[in-house]
């Protein structure tokens, strides 16, 4: 790799139970969060003279699925360019050749660096509510529209994948499960942390872009209620929680289900559900003026259009941005930002061995270095952070890591391996 002498200087440091191999410019590494997909630490970048975040993916080369996720996350992070989405400042590896990179053990980490990293501080409900629903939802939706405009479905939206800086800047994180919406491609059912999982995912129906809108509705509801809306213990209980509150869906919806899933769902108790006035009463909203009473009504209306069991009748991100609760903050520059250019249109249809995925990732790193050398990486100076392969740093925020706070009101499930009612041996296998 054609880096100058300084850039070739790496060192290893233990951070918690993990070892990070990073450039010497990154010092004072400290753990700030961990989850099923990786470990995040903060560091000080002596070149940029600011804090950055470093994410180390868990076992990226353990198998083909993990390797594909690592490649997909790197490719998509390189493509997106929106103020409300994680960006990439740099990508590099301590390995000096493809052969050396190929010899890397399967458990050697791939590190990607977001500009912000979630910090699980769980702020008090009152402080969260004072900022979150009205002020953050439009920016959240702007970021999602940017993804959807390029055919990217995030698929793992949850509070811990959203971070908010003290100046209310919002970023969407984590593209490990994101994918392009290729026509005719059977999408995997294991997506989205359980509490934020759309009915079509729970029921193994396949899904489209508005699977993300269900997750947004769950997050918005959580910000309003200060607790998780559908806290299912497993995917069976998750479905029960949904229909208990929203009601059993129509026969029209039932007919869209796989026969075995339909048999199970139709044999569940029938629920009428609650009105959105009951689920989100006025007491949850500021009511000191007629304007705020109107805003409460608008918020309920938006939630009622997002939290629709039948995805064909659920609002799209474009429609959500035009909703009266949202469009008061409408900013054409953010809403109508040019879509990211996805060069690999059939990214998710690829099937490679782990070694082949490694080679593809290595080529992406070399491509990034070449673009950096030629000055074609998107408009720096807005330093977002840095990314690392087998010991590389990630994008940083424009201010201190300590300026970032999590939007999560309760801990999210760190490891959720269940999938849908159609998983394993069939929809009833979960009922043994």
Q: Which two tokens stand for residue 294?
A: 């109107």
Q: How far is CA 388 from CA 21, 77, 368, 392, in A?
A: 9, 13, 12, 2
**DSSP summary character for residue 178:** -
C-alpha to C-alpha distance for 432 and 421, rounded to whole angstroms: 12
Q: Of the candidates 262, 237, 238, 239, which has an alpha carbon nearest to the alpha carbon of residue 252? A: 262
Buried b (16+ CB within 10 A) or exposed e, 250-262: eeebeebbbeebb
- Residue 255 φ then ψ, to 5°: -70, -10
Q: If DSSP codes are grouped into helix, strand and coil, which group holds residue 15? A: strand
Q: Are 91 and 368 in contact (CB under 8 A)?
A: yes
Catalytic residue, chosen from 17, 45, 103, 156, is: 156
Q: If DSSP codes are grouped into helix, strand and coil, which group holds residue 153? A: strand
Sign for the CA dihedral angle at 218, 222, 224, 227 comes to positive
C-alpha to C-alpha distance for 160 and 156, rounded to whole angstroms: 10
C-alpha to C-alpha distance for 78 and 335, rounded to whole angstroms: 20
**Helices 290-306 and 125-148: crossing angle, nearest 10°?**
50
Q: Which two tokens stand for residue 301?
A: 């209306």
Strands (E), 64-161: 91-93, 110-112, 152-153
Q: Are 55 and 339 in contact (CB under 8 A)?
A: no
Beta bridge partners of 170: 164
Q: How far is CA 231 from CA 7, 58, 158, 228, 306, in A?
A: 47, 26, 13, 6, 18
Cβ atoms < 10 Å from Cβ of 282: 13
Residues whose CB falls within 8 Å of the CB of residue 20, separated by 6 or more in sequence, listed in order: 12, 13, 14, 29, 41, 54, 56, 109, 111, 391
**Helices 125-148 and 211-225: crossing angle, nearest 10°?**
170
Tell me if residue 156 is catalytic. yes
> Active-site residues: which are they?
156
């Amino acid at each position: 790799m054609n880096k100058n002498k300084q850039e070739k200087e790496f060192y290893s440091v233990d951070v918690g139970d993990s070892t990070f191999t990073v450039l010497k410019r990154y010092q004072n590494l400290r753990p700030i969060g961990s989850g099923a997909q990786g470990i995040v630490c903060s560091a000080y970048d002596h070149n940029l003279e600011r804090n950055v975040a470093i994410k180390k993916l868990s076992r990226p080369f353990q198998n083909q699925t993990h390797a594909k996720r690592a490649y997909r996350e790197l490719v998509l992070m390189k493509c997106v360019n929106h103020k409300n989405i994680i960006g990439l400042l740099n990508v590099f590896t301590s390995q000096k050749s493809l052969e050396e990179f190929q010899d890397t053990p399967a458990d050697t980490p791939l590190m990607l660096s977001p500009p912000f990293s979630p910090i699980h501080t769980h702020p008090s409900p009152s402080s969260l509510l004072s900022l979150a629903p009205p002020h953050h939802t439009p920016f959240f939706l702007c970021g999602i529209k940017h993804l959807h405009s390029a055919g990217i479905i995030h698929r793992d939206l949850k509070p811990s994948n959203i971070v908010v800086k003290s100046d209310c800047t919002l970023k969407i994180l984590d593209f490990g499960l994101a994918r392009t919406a290729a026509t005719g491609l059977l999408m995997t059912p294991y997506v989205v942390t359980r509490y934020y999982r759309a009915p079509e995912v729970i029921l193994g129906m396949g899904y489209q872009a508005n699977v993300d809108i269900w997750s947004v509705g769950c997050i918005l509801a959580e910000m309003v209620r200060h607790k998780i809306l559908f806290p299912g213990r497993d995917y069976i209980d998750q479905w029960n929680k949904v229909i208990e509150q929203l009601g059993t869906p129509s026969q029209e919806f039932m007919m869209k289900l796989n026969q075995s899933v339909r048999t199970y769902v139709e044999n569940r108790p029938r629920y009428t559900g609650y009105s959105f006035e009951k689920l989100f009463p006025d007491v949850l909203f500021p009511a000191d003026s007629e304007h705020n009473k109107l805003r409460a009504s608008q918020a309920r209306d938006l939630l009622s259009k997002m939290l629709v069991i039948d995805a064909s009748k659920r609002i799209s991100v474009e429609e959500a941005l035009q909703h009266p609760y949202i469009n008061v903050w409408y900013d054409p520059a953010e809403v109508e930002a040019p879509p990211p250019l996805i060069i690999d249109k059939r990214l998710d249809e690829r099937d490679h061995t782990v070694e082949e995925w490694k080679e593809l990732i290595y080529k992406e790193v070399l491509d990034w270095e070449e673009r950096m050398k030629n000055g074609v990486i998107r408009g720096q100076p807005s330093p977002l952070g840095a990314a690392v392969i087998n010991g590389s740093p990630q994008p940083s925020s424009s201010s201190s890591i300590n300026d970032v706070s999590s939007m999560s009101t309760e801990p999210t499930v760190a490891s959720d391996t269940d999938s849908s009612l159609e998983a394993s041996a069939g929809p009833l296998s979960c009922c043994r």
